[in-house]
Chain A
Amino acid sequence: MTDTVTRQPAPRISEDLDRLVIRFAGDSGDGMQLTGDRFTSASALFGNDLATLPDFPAEIRAPAGTLHGVSAFQVQVASETVTTPGDAPTVLVAMNPAALRSELDRLEAGGTVIVNSDAFEERNLDKAGYTDDPLTDGTLDGYTTYLVPMTSLTKEVCKDLGVKPRDAERSKNFFALGVVSWLFDRPTQPTLDWIDVKFGKRPLVAAANAAAFKAGHAFGETTEMFQATYKVRPAELEPGTYTSINGNTALSWGLIAAAQQAKLPLFLASYPITPASDVLHELSGRKNFGVRTFQAEDEIAAACAAVGASFGGHIGVTTTSGPGLALKAETIGLALSIELPLLVIDIQRGGPSTGLPTKTEASDLNLALYGRHGEAPLPVVAAYSPSQCFFAAIEAVRIALKYRTPVILLSDGYLANGSEPWRLPDLEDLPDISVDFTTRFNDADEEGNPVFQPYKRDPQTLARPWAVPGTPDLMHRVGGLEKEDVTGNISYTPANHGLMTELRAAKVDGIAADIPPTMLDSDGPATVAVLSWGSVWGSVTSAVRRVRAGGPAVDHLHLTHLNPLHADLGDLLGRYRTVLVPEMNLGQLASIVRSRYLIDVKSITKVEGVPFTASEIAAAIAGAVDDD
């Protein structure tokens, strides 16, 4: 096969595609996440709109070649706006039999399979549970299949570089990337530049990867295997400067922005947990912004350290995922009781217990809303797209500071690791979220002497004063025991506890007047609406667009705040005969809406560790329209 490189290019057809969904799958050690990431970056730079879905196992290196070691990366690139990583992939790149076996079912009918044929030897077939060779037994009938001996071609091209064969083999993912870059007409220079920078300190690795990439590209161009190339033209995006960003990075940058907009230092205390750790990593590298990061001994200590920081006048933040949120519950209750700002970020994953650490789910809504003892309401904000995590972080910090309350910000594994092009915001447009510390006495005692009352609330926000240590005269004690209204002294008086309970609830309820209305996407009078929260926004947006293109009007309501709910939500919901609520849980928001508004919404659920596809939601909408 190696001589194919020297053949003359055959005349090809170039077809335009509106969109392409490609899924790279291989062993955990095959570098599929990196391959997908490079394809994504090249596409972003080319000007496509896109959305990605990394899908990998929790194990770092499961036994090579096995089904549970398969790591995949899906990306949708399009010449139009996209909000999901696509439903069924149109192209599957399978680096070994296990990848083919575990991923083939996802491929759309008649889709394209590109396999590394070298990996299809007996041992690997065994490990994947194939008794016959799927490349020849008819398994791939009905698909357009390309068998490319990627391992041997990569080894061959690296032979003269002085790279050991074993090391050379590791570059086969770049060969695969080269092939698909050619097939889908992606620019090559960004990837070559990236290899230079990334492996600059290891010239042999850089050379091998670059050689493999170029060889893959040349293979596509010169072999007569491929009948056509495909082009996905740049999308018409709003003018501006774009970068490609995933949710965890956007969230981290949002926290930095929030600190600047609040004019307060940021303190992040976290305990490593998938899929939240990248926020800790990102902010740990941003110390020049004055960000203090603290890797605590456990989830509880992380939350407590953040409360300590807030007591000292910093923005205390802790990041975690479901199991960690459960552990932090008591500390969140403390912050709620002593009425100090605290931001708790939960990057949701499959639960309960350890659950599915690397897979997405949105099943912590009830935990966020109700997961504390006592009457303990707090504001809950949910991000809905990777880039929007930036603004969600600022909004959550704003509420925490202004209302002196713990806030839970919900993201999820899909948002955290999924990426999309982001039009960079004008920083001038970010809100000023600064608040004043109390520095003077705020009351007088019976004799008229000035005193500081730590629980004398702002009449409008019901927030208590925030006087930080170091402020003369305002020394005071806060604690988890019930406090007397105004003075903050310990009080077990029945009526006072009732009053304080109601005040804490009223403070949070009152925030409804200080948040934007429900996000409403409507194209005309509709009797059916879809109500979403969190990352399902993307699938719903695509689905609604698809349904509208076919005919009936359908509205999309989206909640950015889960507590308090948007003030207009009840009235809005009353407009529709049918309201669908798709959630990556068993209907948590649906239950809330039913009990709160007495509207019998239709719950659509999916708890499989992967996001809804737009088709699933579109089908549900179509069904609802038919029944309506």
Chain B
Amino acid sequence: MTTDMSTGPTTTKADWTSDQEPRWCPGCGDYSILSAMQLLMPQLGARPENTVFVSGIGCAARFPYYMKTYGMHGIHGRAPALATGLATCRPDLDVWVVGGDGDILSIGGNHLLHALRRNVNIKILLFNNQIYGLTKGQYSPTSEIGKVTKSTPLGSVDEPLNPLSVALGAEATFVARTHDMDRTHMQDMFRRAWEHAGAAFVEVYQNCNVFNDGAFAEITKKDKRPSMLITLQHGEPIRFGAEGERGVIMNRSGELQLVDVADVGEENLLVHDERAETPSLAFALSRLSSGPFMPTPIGVFRAVEGPEYASQVSRQLAFAQDRSGPGDLAALLRSRATWEVA
């Protein structure tokens, strides 16, 4: 990436913590994500002055205020677009986007698609709590069907979006999922996103303890994790359970299926390949679970190399200068037919 340990003195968490007191509700999952990030940054060797957090609107979007970096709290849904302009002009910066499910998938869904397919070098963290928090508890584009909220008193009838499927459908080159109860795993995912040259999309299951408390508890509570979280490891057979007794296979109709390892044999388990050229496997994995109440994969679903947007743009500028020479305004003004009046 753009910075390494040699470019500046070592930083500590304090160097990444702004003087602004977080204004999230006590017990909000956002605190643990913020802390994970502030602790990770010194490990990465990133520099605060070269780091920018950009956000839209919502609880998650307050994140930049608490990082002692450059930051912009933008407008609802548009953080990927704001960040795209910044990252395109300033490839020397680490640009992060933070937003919630309403911000990034509803009002800003379009910008997410285009930032991902362009492969702009921005790291998009989707704090998914399956609810609107800051507007006080309406259903979100990731809320499950039947969700009873203030705006859906008889239950939501909207099919929810699967954020990872959306990202993969948009040709994202890096797609991962983590959750707010596991700092180490979050940091692993953030680190991988940071290291990725291009657009990275990380879904963070995040608990909203006020409006949707326990939405992910069935899979993220410590005692549930072994049986409910399927941790993806590149090149490893996909298995889970306290003893690794459960696993994933691709059945004869080409669909992924949860199995007992003892029933199919270890050698028949699906081996995870985050670098697969086509996103088919990652897409199938993104659809393995239909909600946070059944075994759900976390980890890096996809990490492939692709041409990064800003560097392509810079390359075209260099090419144009090579071909036509550096711009000469006086010559430009005379580039069409001219005539003299004496």
Q: A residues engaging B (CB < 8 A)?
A: 41, 44-45, 47, 190, 237-245, 253, 256-257, 260, 265, 267, 269, 286-292, 294, 296-298, 300-301, 304-309, 311-314, 316, 330-331, 333-334, 338, 423-425, 427, 469-481, 489-490
Contact = CB atoms under 8 A, between A and B. Distances in A.
Contact of B78 (A289, A331, A423, A473): A331
A490 B325 CA distance: 47
8 contacts: A243-B336, A288-B326, A305-B85, A306-B85, A308-B83, A308-B87, A469-B93, A475-B49
Given A287-B319, A475-B70, 12 more contacts: A241-B334, A244-B337, A253-B332, A288-B326, A296-B114, A304-B84, A311-B70, A314-B90, A331-B78, A424-B333, A427-B329, A470-B90
Contacts of B330: 427
A309 B85 contact: yes
Contacts of B75: 304, 330-331, 333-334, 480
Given A44-B337, A190-B337, A304 B81 contact: yes
B72 A290 contact: no
A626 to B, nearest CB: 40
Interface string B85-125: 11111101100000000000000001101100000000000
A260 to B, nearest CB: 6
Contacts of A289: 326-327, 329, 332
Contact of B324 (A256, A267, A288, A300): A288
A301 B88 contact: no
B78 A300 contact: yes
Contacts of A45: 337, 339
A316 B337 contact: no
B233 interface: no
A309 B86 contact: yes
Contacts of B208: none
A307 B74 CA distance: 10
B81 to A, nearest CB: 4
Nearest to B70: A469
B41 to A, nearest CB: 12
Contacts of A240: 340-341
A427 B331 CA distance: 11
Interface of B: 18, 20, 48-52, 54, 57, 64-65, 67-75, 78, 81-90, 92-93, 110-111, 113-114, 313, 316-317, 319-321, 323-327, 329-330, 332-334, 336-342
A240 B341 CA distance: 5
Nearest to B113: A297
A475 B18 CA distance: 9
Nearest to A425: B333
A219 B323 CA distance: 45
A242 B339 contact: yes
Contacts of A480: 57, 73-75
A91 B241 CA distance: 87
- Most interface-central of A304, A330, A338 (chain B CB within 10 A): A304
Contacts of B336: 243-245
Given A45-B337, A242-B339, A478-B73, A290 B327 contact: yes
Contact of A311 (B51, B86, B332): B86
Contacts of B72: 308, 311, 338, 477-479
A309 B310 CA distance: 12
B339 A44 contact: yes
- Most interface-central of B113, B326, B334, B339 (chain A CB within 10 A): B339
Given A41-B337, A267-B85, A308-B86, A481 B73 contact: yes
Contacts of A242: 338-341
A4 B338 CA distance: 36
B341 A470 contact: no
Contacts of A244: 336-337
A239 B341 contact: yes
Contacts of A330: 75
A314 B84 CA distance: 13
Given A297-B111, A314-B89, A477 B71 contact: yes
Contacts of B81: 296-297, 300-301, 304-305, 308
Nearest to A481: B73
Contacts of B111: 297, 301, 304
Contact of A469 (B50, B113, B338): B50
Contact of A308 (B51, B85, B113, B317): B85
A472 B7 CA distance: 12
Given A260-B329, A288-B325, A47 B73 contact: no
B110 A474 contact: no
A256 B328 CA distance: 10
Given A308-B82, A334-B75, A424-B338, A243 B89 contact: no
A18 B82 CA distance: 54
- Most interface-central of B93, B113, B114, B327 (chain A CB within 10 A): B327
Nearest to A269: B85
Contacts of A306: 85
B134 to A, nearest CB: 12
Contacts of A304: 74-75, 78, 81-82, 84-85, 111
A245 B332 CA distance: 12
Given A47-B341, A241-B334, A309 B88 contact: yes
A424 B334 contact: yes
A256 B87 CA distance: 21
Contacts of B52: 311, 469
B320 A288 contact: yes
Nearest to B321: A288
A308 B84 contact: yes
A294 B114 CA distance: 12
B105 to A, nearest CB: 15
Contacts of A471: 49
Nearest to B52: A469
B89 A308 contact: yes
Contact of B114 (A297, A338, A423): A297
Nearest to B110: A297
Nearest to A422: B333
Contacts of B73: 477-481
Contacts of B64: 477, 479
